[in-house]
């Protein structure tokens, strides 16, 4: 019940905590970003607390009796030193030890952007929206599907910068496929830092690359600053069932030591990498995520971390992952209830779909998940722009479509305004039966801000829409993306910093091979 408005303004007082005050400040002057979303609506608890405890109990038993694999000698030594039962690569973790480690994670943290006005908070009632990550393909401005390029990646970072409800630029929205794999991370991070001033994401494919990311962050934020201050978020996926592999553990060690949060999120294909049971899948994923969270606290106690999940069901006919299914939504609610039990910031995914196109399927799938993400109280809502084909493809039209929808979700989660309720009721008295409200003082004062009005969606009459070319939503989305890119202005880095990044990349490119072997 707050007075939420959606007029973006500058400077966004993110460091002052967003929320009611932040939104008030927003009205001052126009700018292209919303502060952290502070949820003013209650969370939805799908199951009673006893059910949450039942799942927790089974997760604890998995880690105590079955254990989890940690495929890294240093990690195993750390677990042994902490008192876990280590046998080969198998680590059995007693619930007391596990929960003690988990309790060290701060329930909320600040994620600093290179532009302080874009700094956001993660955890508690705070929610941030983050574009997709990891697509080898793009669906381009001509609606062709092809490999992603560095130009595409630049474009997605430009759009992420311009779209006000996106709180991060992500990093690998699409893969720049023309760049050799060993050098790719340099250009990905450079693109994110150069084209946008919002928070970004790290690279986790090797220890060396993670260290390069930290060095580049150091050039932008200051080498000392990034030893303690959180400036990026990275994803580590447990290899379900119950394996944390050496690549992920290497990345965890690099980033956690720098106080940079990992998302500890099993990527679960429910029915294949978990049992064919929504509740069973949650219990397993919870065990996997908690084991990862606990490990980060061996690396650096008190470092910020993000508990999480990515769970999709599997199509029995094709074995393919499915996006917006009812079970995916239900599992999300359970993970939210568990995250609150553990007082952990947590991540889920919003608009991720199986559809190949930005069509009706995409829309149905996307909003099934986003509604659940908002009501389950997720803090880091990822993959909320661009995602198609179960993550294999990033679409330009989908990117701007999703981001526009986020404005509506931002408003939704901001809650209902009772601020002008008495005035509104006075208007009812003024108008009386059989009148209309278009000319009342209340309407004139409130109309523009009262309701969400999207721009890519079309609500014109059929005749008007036909006169404008009878374009479907996908077409309008591509037009909007193109128009935005034409209007883009770079939020330039200081000359010295820009040069520092270029020098670093040039030096590393000389050192690194072009082939992975």
Q: Which of residues 410-429 bind a second copy (CB under 8 A)?
A: 411-412, 415-418, 420-421, 423-425, 427-429
Q: In the set 64, 458, 479, 509, which binds a second copy (CB under 8 A)?
A: 458
**Positions 336 through 355 that interact with a second copy (CB under 8 A):** 354-355
Task: Indicate which single residue of 142, 144, 224, 433 sits in contact with a second copy (rule: CB under 8 A).
Answer: 433
Least Cβ distance, residue 139 to a second copy (angstroms): 10
Rule CB under 8 A: say whether 386 interacts with a second copy. Answer: no
- Cβ atoms of 220 and 493 within 8 Å: the answer is yes
Does 3 contact a second copy by CB under 8 A? Answer: no
CA pair distance 59, 332, nearest whole angstrom = 16
SS3 254: helix
Report the 10 Å Cβ neighbour count for 380. 28
By beta-carbon proximity to a second copy, the closer residue of 169 and 286 is: 286
Candidate segments 100-108, 397-405, 488-496, 507-515, binder of a second copy by CB under 8 A: 397-405
Give me 494's structure tokens.
Answer: 């200081």
CB nearer to a second copy: pick between 218 and 241: 241
* Pick from 478, 307, 382, 373: nearest CA to 133: 382
How many angstroms separate the CA atoms of 479 and 401, rounded? 11
**DSSP character string of 287-299:** HHHHHHHHHHHHH
DSSP per residue, 366-434: HHHHHHHHHHTT-SEEES-SSEEGGGTEEEHHHHHHHHHHHHHHHHHHT----TTHHHHHHHHHHH-TT
Binding a second copy by CB under 8 A: which of 25, 82, 181, 457? 457
Q: Are 255 and 210 in contact (CB under 8 A)?
A: yes
Nearest to 36 by CA among 64, 5, 15, 7: 15
Question: How far, in Å, CA of 131 to CA of 119, rounded?
Answer: 16
Binders of a second copy among residues 74 to 103 (CB under 8 A) are 90
Question: Is residue 472 involved in binding a second copy (CB under 8 A)?
Answer: yes
Of 392 and 505, which has the nearer Cβ to a second copy? 392
- Candidates 25, 32, 54, 117: give the one binding a second copy (CB under 8 A): 54
**List 25, 32, 44, 95, residue binding a second copy (CB under 8 A):** 44
* Shortest spacing between CB 2 and a second copy, in angstroms: 12
| 144 interacts with a second copy by CB under 8 A | no
| CB neighbour list of residue 452: distance below 8 Å, 6 or more residues apart | 6, 407, 408, 411
In angstroms, give the least distance from the CB of 328 to a second copy.
9
CB of 317 or CB of 496, closer to a second copy: 317
- The reply on whether position 488 binds a second copy by CB under 8 A is no
For a second copy, the closer CB: 214 or 293: 293
Count of residues in the chain: 517
In the three-class reduction of DSSP (H, G, I as helix; E, B as strand; rest coil), residue 268 is classed as strand
CB 413 within 8 A of CB 380: no
**Which of the stretches 11-19, 56-64, 116-124, 196-204 binds a second copy when contact is defined by CB under 8 A?**
56-64
Q: Is 274 in the site for a second copy (CB under 8 A)?
A: yes
Query: What is d(CA 243, CA 90) in angstroms, rounded to the nearest whole number?
Result: 9
Query: What is the footprint of a second copy within residues 275-294 (CB under 8 A)?
Result: 275-281, 283-284
Q: Counting contacts by CB under 8 A, is residue 462 touching a second copy? A: yes
Is the CB of 216 or the CB of 311 nearer to a second copy?
Answer: 311
- Which residue number, 188 or 375, has a Cβ lying nearer to a second copy? 375
State the Cα–Cα distance between residues 387 and 155, nearest whole angstrom: 15
Which of 15, 69, 309, 335 is close enough to bind a second copy by CB under 8 A? 69
301/319 with CB nearer a second copy: 319
Closer to a second copy by CB, 461 or 511: give it: 461
Q: What separation in angstroms does the CA of 393 have from each of 30, 233, 360? A: 33, 22, 17
Q: Give the 3-state secondary structure of residue 44.
A: coil
Q: Is 177 in the site for a second copy (CB under 8 A)?
A: no
CB of 282 to a second copy, least distance (A): 9
Rule CB under 8 A: choose which of 24, 49, 53, 66 binds a second copy.
66
- Binding window for a second copy (CB under 8 A); candidates: 11-19, 101-109, 204-212, 433-441: 433-441
Rounded to a whole number of angstroms, the distance between the first and last alpha carbons of the chain is: 58
Question: Does residue 460 interact with a second copy by CB under 8 A?
Answer: yes
Tokens coding 48: 């009673």
Angstrom distance (rounded) from CA 73 to CA 498:
38
């Amino acid at each position: 019940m707050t007075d939420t408005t959606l007029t973006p303004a500058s400077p966004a007082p993110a460091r002052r905590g967003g929320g009611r005050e932040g939104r008030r400040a927003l009205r001052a002057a126009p700018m292209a970003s919303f502060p952290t979303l502070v949820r003013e609506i209650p969370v939805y608890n799908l199951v009673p607390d006893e059910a949450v405890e039942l799942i927790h109990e089974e997760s604890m038993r998995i880690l105590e009796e079955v254990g989890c694999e940690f495929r890294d000698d240093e990690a195993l030594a750390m677990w042994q030193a902490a008192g876990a039962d280590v046998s080969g690569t198998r680590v059995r973790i007693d619930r007391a030890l596990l929960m003690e480690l988990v309790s060290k994670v701060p329930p909320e943290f600040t994620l600093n952007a290179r532009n302080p006005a874009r700094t956001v908070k993660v955890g508690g009632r705070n929610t941030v929206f983050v574009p997709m990550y990891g697509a080898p393909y793009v669906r381009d401005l001509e609606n062709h599907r092809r490999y992603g390029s560095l130009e595409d990646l630049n474009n997605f970072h430009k759009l992420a910068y311009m779209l006000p409800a996106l709180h991060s630029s992500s990093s690998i929205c699409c893969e720049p496929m023309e760049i050799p794999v060993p050098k790719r991370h340099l250009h990905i991070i450079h693109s994110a830092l150069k084209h946008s001033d919002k928070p970004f994401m790290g690279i986790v494919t090797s220890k060396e690359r993670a260290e390069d990311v930290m060095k580049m962050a150091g050039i932008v934020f200051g080498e000392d600053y990034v030893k303690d201050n959180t400036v990026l978020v990275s994803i580590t996926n447990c290899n379900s069932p119950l394996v944390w592999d050496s690549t992920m553990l290497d990345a965890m060690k690099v980033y956690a030591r720098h106080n940079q949060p990992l998302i500890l999120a099993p990527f679960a294909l429910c029915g294949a990498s978990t049992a064919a049971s929504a509740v069973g899948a949650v219990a397993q994923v919870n065990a996997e995520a908690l084991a990862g969270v606990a490990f980060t606290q061996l690396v650096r106690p008190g470092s910020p971390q993000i508990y999480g999940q990515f769970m999709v069901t599997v199509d029995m006919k094709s074995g393919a992952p499915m996006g917006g299914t009812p079970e995916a939504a239900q599992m999300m609610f359970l993970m939210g209830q568990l995250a609150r039990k553990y007082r952990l910031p947590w991540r889920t995914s919003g608009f991720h779909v199986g559809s190949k196109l930005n069509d009706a399927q995409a829309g149905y799938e996307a909003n099934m998940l986003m509604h659940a993400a908002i009501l389950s109280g997720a803090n880091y809502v990822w993959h909320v722009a661009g995602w198609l084909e179960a993550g294999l493809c990033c679409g330009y039209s989908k990117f701007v479509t999703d981001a526009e929808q986020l404005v509506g979700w931002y408003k939704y989660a901001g809650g209902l305004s009772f601020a002008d309720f008495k005035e509104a009721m006075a208007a009812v008295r003024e108008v009386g039966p059989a009148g209309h409200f278009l000319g009342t003082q209340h309407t004139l004062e409130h109309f523009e801000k009262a309701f969400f009005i999207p721009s890519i969606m079309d609500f014109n009459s059929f005749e008007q829409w036909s006169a404008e070319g009878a374009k479907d939503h996908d077409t309008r989305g591509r037009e909007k993306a193109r128009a935005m890119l034409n209007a883009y202005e770079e939020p330039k880095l200081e000359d010295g910093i820009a040069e520092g990044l270029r020098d670093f990349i040039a030096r590393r490119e000389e050192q690194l091979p072009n082939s992975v072997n």
